[in-house]
Amino acid sequence: MSNDTFVDTFREEALELLGTLETALLELEENPQDKELLSAVFRVMHTIKGSAAMFGLDKISKFAHEVESILSALREGKLSVSKELIGNTLLARDLILEMLDNLSEATGPLSSKLLDFLKNFKLIIGFVSVEEKVLPEIQKDKKGNRESKERRQTYHIVFKPGIDSFRRGCNPLLLIQELMSLGEVVNIPVFDQITDLESLDPESCLVSWEIYITTTATENELRDVFIFVEDFSEIHIKCLDNLIDESGETNKRVGEILIEQGKLSVEELDSLLGSQKRIGELLVEEKLVSATDLKVALESQKQIQQVQKNKALHDDMSTIRVKSEKLDELMALVGELVTVHAQILQTSKTVEENEKLNSVVEQFGRLTDELRNNTMSIRMVPIGTTFSSFKRLVRDLSSELGKNVVLEADGGETELDKTVIEKLNDPLVHIIRNSLDHGIESPEVRSSRGKPKTGTIRLSAIQSGASVFISIEDDGNGLNKEAILKKAITKGIVAPDAQLEEQAVFRLIFAPGFSTKEAVSAVSGRGVGMDVVNRQMEIIGGSLAIESEETKFSRITLKIPLTLAIVEGLLVRIGLEHFIVPLSVVVGCMEFIQADQRKNSSIVLFQDRQLPFVNMREFFSIPGERNSIEQIVIVTIKDQQFGLLVDQIIGGNQTVIKPLGKLFRNATGISNGSILGDGSVALIIDVEQIIGSLETINND
């Protein structure tokens, strides 16, 4: 691996870290007391500093070091989280990003621009006054350096000093102090042996401790702390991480923990279950366990959950970095393999029945399916990362516009193919910018409308079948139908006498060059952004819907296909042509005998319901005579069911999507194409478009 490759790797990792940093900073601004977030922010800066130094990028390293010093003071409580601190740390992040974009400039001393920035940053947050005190401490803090390099583990220590500890000249508190120097400690004293005053032997050591320590120290290093007292004391050390690895149990209840610790019997616990009160309170009330035992159990539960959380985080990090192009290549190859499997299957049917061949083809099919699913899952990315990236946009833009806006996100764990996510970024940016500029009102207007001064933009994602629905909602102005229509008429987008449905009026905001805003600002008004949304939706085969109520809200819902590579389809034939209906919209199939139908009726009875159907032969103008027995594929779109009349339903088909090219862009009723096992082309039916075009014809 050449040095350049190492530097590239550093750059990629640093970009990822800066993404994490931005998210963590924005979350920290909302939750300034969250120590975990604060530690995460610190760790990112610390890692960037160390890695940059390793690759000789000393300008980045020095700059990160300065910012790290500020964050260290913050972590030690010498500074507090403020808007200025978060804002400037975000700017520092942007400056590191700039240096990463131009690595040739990332060496040498700090430029005057960086020095001025740091000076101003420190001045604004009052760091100058604490700086002298902080720096020597940072230099001394070897523990911190170690923390970032090694994995921290949580141990449960039971420490019962011998009863004669005082007489032996031992001070157990010094041992606890030593433990505290090794990591984060929660120590719970146990007073069970301390009697009333009259019978108390004050020169005996009667107190013991249940200690939880999260540290990079090893179990042996922890045992070393007790080395001089182990002969006359009781010491038990257990690593919680190992316990979780062994048992795999995570969400233990307090009752279960107390039983495990031998402080409660199953019968005692059972006798209290079913009560409305919390089990812990009940156990103490009934004197089945002491308050200390309960405290220890609760702490144990908390620590186990924390360990599990950290473990999940660590597991997430056990990944390898693969270039996205390689994944695209892999997906393309899998697509070809799926096609080849279809060809083999087809060919195997043409030769004489051969049990062994059939078995091999079937096995090949199963493996291809698994490979396809695995490859697709590798490409699936949670949309949450994209959602998080908009927090900064909302923060900066709302401040620029003098508005108070919060961004709420829901369903961030919903996964989409990475190619789809990449294509979604621009439309979402435009919709959010539009919401900020046109949607959310100024604080004064919001107050006069009885709304909270802070507006909300809510992003949510949910998967349904082979689609993901992403909605962007704001509680602002809503859409003004009259103003939209008036502007569209002025711009010649619609005829002055046009009678448009509400949805059609709303959709005008996506027309090229459309904007109701009189003045062009840096944020919006050129009528370009929303057009991008429309075009991008067309490219990814998605669709959009708008709901709005004036002065109340606007909601734009994007319907996005999970992947752009492969769909499960139902292969059908009309005449000599093959078509594929995406399986995600199929609800059933039925036979159709023309002779049984009333003449020219376009209604069929399916599961006791009358459904309209479309004669696909007529729709696509395919020549030839209709068969006496045909078949209908029942599909559902927007909660409505329809039938598609075809000659024959052939069966399920793994469809590798092949784009049709510009020539077919305006072809109604088809979205893409696919190659069948015999090498012929099958067109993928766009059911929504077919139904939409029929509705238009009926309305006209």
Partner 1 sequence: MSKKVQLDIENIAQTRAGFLAVLDSGAELIVDFEKCVGLDLSGFQLLVSLVREAKEKKKTVVFCGELKKEHAQLMILFGVNERDCLTGEELEKNLKAVL
Which has the closest alpha carbon to 657: 690, 620, 685? 685
Closest to partner 1 by CB, 158 vs 207, is: 207
**Residues binding partner 1: number (CB under 8 A):** 26
Task: Indicate left, alpha or beta for 624 from its phi (over 0: left) and psi (-120 to 50: alpha).
Answer: left
Compute the least distance from the CB of residue 164 to partner 1, in Å: 12
CA atoms within 13 A on the CB side of 554: 26
Interaction mask 139-178, partner 1, x per CB under 8 A: ---------------------------x----xxx--xx-
Span between the terminal Cα atoms of the chain, in Å? 66
Q: Are 455 and 474 in contact (CB under 8 A)?
A: yes
191 in contact with partner 1 (CB under 8 A):
yes
Of residues 633-672, which lie at the interface with partner 1 (CB under 8 A)?
none
Report how far residue 237's alpha carbon sits from residue 221's, in angstroms, rounded to the nearest whole number: 11
Which has the closest alpha carbon to 454: 420, 404, 384? 404
Closest to partner 1 by CB, 195 vs 607, is: 195
Q: What are phi and psi of 256, to 5 degrees?
A: -65, -40
Closest to partner 1 by CB, 184 vs 245, is: 184
Of residues 194-223, which lie at the interface with partner 1 (CB under 8 A)?
194-198, 200, 202-203, 205-207, 209
Of residues 534-593, which lie at the interface with partner 1 (CB under 8 A)?
none
Compute the least distance from the CB of residue 162 to partner 1, in Å: 13
Q: What are phi and psi of 374, to 5 degrees?
A: -65, -45
Q: Which residue from 188, 466, 545, 670 is in contact with partner 1, where contact means CB under 8 A?
A: 188
Closest to partner 1 by CB, 187 vs 615, is: 187
482 in contact with partner 1 (CB under 8 A):
no
189 in contact with partner 1 (CB under 8 A):
yes
Compute the least distance from the CB of residue 287 to partner 1, in Å: 13
DSSP class of residue 267 equals H
Scanning 545-683, the segments in alpha helix (DSSP H) are 616-619
Compute the least distance from the CB of residue 186 to partner 1, in Å: 8
596 in contact with partner 1 (CB under 8 A):
no
Report how far residue 69's alpha carbon sits from residue 125's, in angstroms, rounded to the nearest whole number: 13
237 in contact with partner 1 (CB under 8 A):
no
Closest to partner 1 by CB, 64 vs 213, is: 213
One-letter identity of residue 453: K
Closest to partner 1 by CB, 161 vs 439, is: 161
- Of the listed pieces 115-123, 187-195, 326-334, 376-384, which binds partner 1 according to CB under 8 A? 187-195
Q: What are phi and psi of 415, to 5 degrees?
A: -100, 145
Which has the closest alpha carbon to 25: 5, 44, 8? 44
Closest to partner 1 by CB, 132 vs 203, is: 203
Neighbours of 407 (CB within 10 A): 22
Q: What are phi and psi of 2, to 5 degrees?
A: -75, 165
Q: What are phi and psi of 191, to 5 degrees?
A: -105, 15
Compute the least distance from the CB of residue 292 to partner 1, in Å: 6
- Of the listed pieces 103-111, 180-188, 234-242, 441-449, which binds partner 1 according to CB under 8 A? 180-188
Q: What are phi and psi of 261, to 5 degrees?
A: -80, 0
Compute the least distance from the CB of residue 169 to partner 1, in Å: 10
Closest to partner 1 by CB, 167 vs 314, is: 167
596-619: b or e for each residue (b if 16 or more CB lie within 10 Å)? Answer: eeeeeeeebebeeeebebbbbbeb
Of residues 273-302, which lie at the interface with partner 1 (CB under 8 A)?
291-292, 295
Closest to partner 1 by CB, 202 vs 492, is: 202
Report how far residue 312's alpha carbon sits from residue 314's, in angstroms, rounded to the nearest whole number: 5
Write out the residues near partner 1 by the rule CB under 8 A.
166, 171-173, 176-177, 180, 187-189, 191, 194-198, 200, 202-203, 205-207, 209, 291-292, 295
